[in-house]
Amino acid sequence: MANKIKLEVVTPDKLLLSKDVEVVVCTGVDGEFGVLAGHVPFLSALAIGELRFRDGNVTDYAAVAGGFAEVTGEKVTVLAEAAELAREIDVDRAKRARERAEQRLAKAATEQLEYSRAEAALQRAMLRMRVAEKGRPSA
Amino acid sequence: MAALRDIKNKIAAVKKTRQITRAMNMVAAAKLRGVQEKAERFKPYAAKFAEVLRSVSAGVDPEIHPLLAQPESVEKVALILLTADRGLCGSFNMNLITKAERFIKEQTQAGRQVLLYTVGRKGRDYFRRRKVEITQDLSGVMNVVDFDLAVQVARLGLNAFLGGEVQEVHLIYSRFASMVSFVPTAEKMLPISPEAAAEGEAGGGSEYLIEPSAEEILVDLLPRYINVRVYNALLQTATSEQAARMAAMDNATKNCKEMINNLTLLYNKARQSAITAELMDIVGGAEALKQG
């Protein structure tokens, strides 16, 4: 049995998750990275992407809308302005958000700032849907 | 007899007022609890965030980021004023507004122009009535304070600052010192003073492997730091508002009670003297008949 590492996901609204798991895989800005217990102290910026963690045979997913991950030997702390567990994602809402973002994207094509914001919104919406999809069979 | 009925009506009216103020007191108490819980849930994030910021900014030259760059001369400043949307909370809003007016006066005397941003209806209404130009306002938002709102408010400041319209951004909010003490506080939000970012640097948590690099993370981290600070200010303001309303309504309820007591006393006295007068009449009449 592998050593466990504590995973904490913190958002401004709440402590989303605090759990001992075997493996954590985060989406960093330079690609995915996995963390096991005893990892070197490490700090990374996170892209809009999924977070997966395995405990025993169960793999769970969460959607993280950018932020940071701080890793110490015993603990991974994910700091995100928004994050949701796969089973808590409201797929309909995500779909609506995606449609809205697509519209905004079409309209905002001319303005740089607005465009990048709309793009980020679209990414978040699509991520939520993807993660919700994955989380379903195991949840 | 008319006087008697008048007093009775008055008592009924004051009783109704008391009912309303009592209900508002309870609503404020419930909302206060809600905001306090929110603030409680925000604490771990804020604490962790400060820790990460500290370890990242420890080894970095603060000059690299536009949000840290101290301007050479300041000609225009932005002021973001947080107030409540609603009144009936004692001097809460007025205290914040007075603070803002003083701030504007000071800045104007120093030869700087102030762009005013208001969050919350009361601040907007006040300055609009006085024909002070408001650059932008967000009102009707203080009922639900969440992180999205903080991001929105922070964006007002960030846009003005990064767009070069202003060289400084200040924030006036109500600091929740205790249930009975709310301090209107002015804070410089932008540029971020290096001391604030590197607060308590001796933490020594800098032996991290940092990816992609401390500089790049800082670029991402600092705007979020503004969000965190604004959210904190919003939460404190909302907490103060509800606590102030609770106190104000509690006072109002007490005053109603006192008024009802006084009026009841008055009513009883009037009733008694009316009865006495009537008795005198009857007795007087009877005497007259006897003699006749």
Out of B228, B246, B264, a domain closes at: B246
Residues of A with Cβ-Cβ distance to B55 under 8 angstroms: 43
| Separation in Å, CA of A116 to nearest CA in chain B | 14
Q: Average the pLDDT over A50-72 and give the result.
A: 88
Q: Over the range B15-40, which residues count as b (16 or more CB within 10 Å of their CB) and which as e? A: eebbeebbebbeebbebbeebbebbe
- The letter for the amino acid at B149 is L
| Residue B101 sits in the same domain as residue B213 | yes
Beta bridge partners of residue A83, listed in sequence order: A64
Structure confidence at residue B196 (pLDDT):
58
B167 part of a folded domain: yes
Structure confidence at residue B3 (pLDDT):
81
In the predicted model, what is the mean pLDDT of chain B? 88
Whole-angstrom distance, CA of residue B41 vs CA of residue B109 = 42
| Separation in Å, CA of A51 to nearest CA in chain B | 17
* Residue A40 touches chain B, beta carbons under 8 Å: yes
Contact flag A13-B146 (C-beta cutoff 8 Å): yes
> Quick one: what percent of chain B has pLDDT higher than 70?
92
| Separation in Å, CA of B256 to nearest CA in chain A | 39
In three-state form (DSSP H/G/I as H, E/B as E, the rest C), the secondary structure along B263-287 is: HHHHHHHHHHHHHHHHHHHHHHHHH
Structure confidence at residue B203 (pLDDT):
46
Q: State whether residue B68 is helix, strand or coil.
A: coil
**Which CATH number among 3.40.50, 1.10.3470, 1.20.5, 1.10.730 corresponds to the domain A90-138?**
1.20.5
* Residue B57 touches chain A, beta carbons under 8 Å: no
Asked if the model's pLDDT at residue B261 lies above 90, the reply is yes
Residue ranges with strand state E in B122-180: 136-138, 168-178
Decide: B7 and B267 in contact? Cβ < 8 Å.
yes
Tell me the per-residue pLDDT of B91-107, one tens digit each, with 9 for 90 and over. Answer: 999 999 999 999 999 99
The residue ranges of every structural domain in chain A are 5-86, 90-138
| Residue B146 sits in the same domain as residue B279 | no
B89 is catalytic: yes
Whole-angstrom distance, CA of residue A5 vs CA of residue A23 = 7
| Residue B177 sits in the same domain as residue B273 | no
B57 part of a folded domain: yes
* Residue A92 touches chain B, beta carbons under 8 Å: no
Structure confidence at residue B271 (pLDDT):
92
pTM above 0.90, yes or no: no
- For chains A and B, count residue pairs whose Cβ atoms are closer than 8 Å: 70
The answer for residues whose C-beta is within 8 angstroms of residue A78's C-beta and 6 or more apart is A7, A8, A9, A10, A26, A46, A51, A64, A67, A68, A69
Radius of gyration for the alpha carbons in chain A, expressed in angstroms and rounded: 16
B34 part of a folded domain: no
Mark which residues 65-124 of B lie under 8 Å from A by CB: none
* Residue B37 touches chain A, beta carbons under 8 Å: no
Structure confidence at residue B201 (pLDDT):
46
Q: Range of B19's domain?
A: 2-27+248-291
Stretch among A113-127, B98-112, B201-215, B267-281 having the lowest mean pLDDT: B201-215
In the predicted model, what is the mean pLDDT of chain A? 84
CATH superfamily for domain A5-86: F0F1 ATP synthase delta/epsilon subunit, N-terminal (2.60.15.10)
Whole-angstrom distance, CA of residue B46 vs CA of residue B44 = 6
Residue ranges with strand state E in chain A: 5-10, 15-21, 23-28, 31-35, 42-55, 58-71, 75-80, 83-85
Q: Average the pLDDT over B12-22 and give the result.
A: 95
Q: Average the pLDDT over B107-122 and give the result.
A: 93
Tell me the per-residue pLDDT of B58-70, one tens digit each, with 9 for 90 and over. Answer: 666 666 677 877 7
How many Å separate Cα B249 from the centre of its chain? 16
Q: Predicted confidence band at A137 (pLDDT cuts at 50, 70, 90)?
A: low
Nearest CA among A34, A10, A16 for reference residue A24: A34
> Quick one: what percent of chain B has pLDDT higher than 90?
56
| Residue B171 sits in the same domain as residue B188 | yes
CATH number of domain containing B268:
1.10.287.80
DSSP annotation of B89 reads B
